Amino acid sequence: MTIRRLLNLARRPRSLPPARSASTSALAASPDSISVPDTPPVMIYDRLSEAVRAKIKRLDNPDPRFLRFASPHPSVTDHTEILSAPETRVTTLPNGLRIATESTLASPTATAGVWIDAGSRFETDETNGTAHFLEHMIFKGTSKRTVRQLEEEIENMGGHLNAYTSREQTTYYAKVLGNDVPKALDILSDILQNSNFEESRINRERDVILREMEEVEGQAEEVIFDHLHATAFQYTPLGRTILGSSQNIKTITKEHLKNYISTHYTAPRMVISVAGAVKHEEIVELVKKQFTKLSEEPTTASQLVAREPAYFTGSEVRIIDDDIPLAQFAIAFAGASWKDPDSIALMVMQSMLGSWNKNSGGGKHTGSELVQRIAINEIAESMMAFNTNYKDTGLFGVYAMCKPDCVDDLAWGIMHEISKLSYRVSEADVIRARNQLKSSLQLHIDGTSPVAEDIGRQLLTYGRRIPMAELFARIDAVDPSTVKRVANRFIFDQDVAIAAMGPIQRLPEYNWFRRRTYLLRY
């Protein structure tokens, strides 16, 4: 072979395309030719979501004939007709004491209570537990009534006298018949102004509170949230427990109780709330006559909070205990305060995440994608989204309980759905969450006691009673763009606080949770 021929062979292409037939050419030239659509590939991270939706569709298979009666698509409805409510009247006395009433004369009963802007947050490390101890001691006799007389008077009226203490508020209230409201107010004024605090009663109550602490330690949810506050707000007053330490309970004295009352049970920090079969003018006159010994110290709770603010710290606490059958953990972000404009959006986001219990059933049919994921894959026993507000901060997150071998899957599902609020929010999910939130708010104030509590709490936190129509309007103003904006403020690339207890060896490390506050695939 000559050199010229070898060069010619080298210049030829290595492979030639096959000659097209006439039919093939005609097909290619035809306007109806088949072409591959230019669609982006499905992201590998979305396949799990699509699989969940496919399962739901196969399980439900709804009959279209019945969809007009129970449509799976939420709709925006007008609640104007159900928002009519009695007026909340408020009177402020010269000493700063506020009196608020809501008259429902058709109701045979009424609830009268005293809401105080004081709780465990306003204690010191040495006196932590005093507010709760005082709640117990307030019913142990006064200069006018012995314990027996107090109990018999309430029993003879057929009434109910109770109290509770939180981190920022303390409440004493009585539910009685409408005609017995003057007696109830007299009892409340007596126990708040004339309590004896006998040493024998104090020593006896120590044992009662210590037994109560043992009972609380057996309630997993209470313990988890105490640990969550301790790690999220460490070295600040909000990190302390409400009950206090056992050492403090053993050392609290009569002087501690009296000092706490004189310092924090002041007229400007108290609201007397009455709801039911009452008249505002009569309640005001009764309060003027009975609540005459209250301190007029002008220092407000907000001023005390400003001196010792609560700082959120990204951290975790883990208690490994294989004797506990189920693992439980709470994941929380720094939330909004009561007066923060974004607090309403966080309430809607809490409703979007939802809550679920294995015994309740129906998880795969709920609107929350987190609940759907958990129920279909059976990776949890219970789950609850929470949104807790305080005067200057808050906590927003999810509490869950599961079997030990499901901990990592459950943690992945929770963080995936929480982080997704910053990127992908559908209009249908927001509408459904708004409807659920408005329904729960209406159900919450069904009765004189919830109404009185709602009035007292809102006057302490907002300084006024927010009408339900205004609250509904603020909820309806939340749309998908609002949810994304608020999620980017509180969730996207923010520190988290984690409290976990039980067989949690498979719970991912803290940095794993921190990295999943954002999704790089978007």
Task: Please state at what angle helix 199-217 crosses helix 254-264, rounded to 10 degrees.
Answer: 80
First to last CA, the chain: 62
Using an 8 Å Cβ cutoff, are 481 and 215 in contact?
no
Q: Is 81 a catalytic residue?
A: no
| Long-range Cβ contact pairs of 216-222 (< 8 A, separation 24 or more) | 216/243, 220/324, 220/328, 220/401, 220/501, 221/328, 221/399
Query: How many other C-beta atoms lie within 10 A of the C-beta of residue 58?
Result: 8
Task: Kindly name the residue from 102, 123, 135, 417 that is annotated as catalytic.
Answer: 135
What CA–CA distance (Å, rounded) separates 416 from 471? 30
What CA–CA distance (Å, rounded) separates 400 from 355? 9
Q: Is 381 a catalytic residue?
A: no
Closest by CA position to 419, among listed 477, 478, 483, 375? 483
What CA–CA distance (Å, rounded) separates 123 from 238? 10
* Residue 393: both structure tokens together: 């901060």
Exposed / middle / buried, residue 265 (Cβ in 10 Å: 0-12, 13-18, 19+): buried
Question: Where do the DSSP E strands lie in 301-445?
Answer: 315-320, 327-334, 355-357, 382-389, 394-402
Task: Kindly name the residue from 102, 168, 205, 453 that is annotated as catalytic.
Answer: 205
Query: How many other C-beta atoms lie within 10 A of the C-beta of residue 348?
Result: 25
DSSP secondary structure, 100-158, as one string: EEEE-TT-SEEEEEEEES--GGG--TTTTTHHHHHHHHTTS-BSS--HHHHHHHHHHHT
What CA–CA distance (Å, rounded) separates 331 from 329? 7
Lookup result for tokens 């009452």? 278
* Residue 194: both structure tokens together: 């004339």
Task: Name the residues annotated as catalytic.
Answer: 135, 205
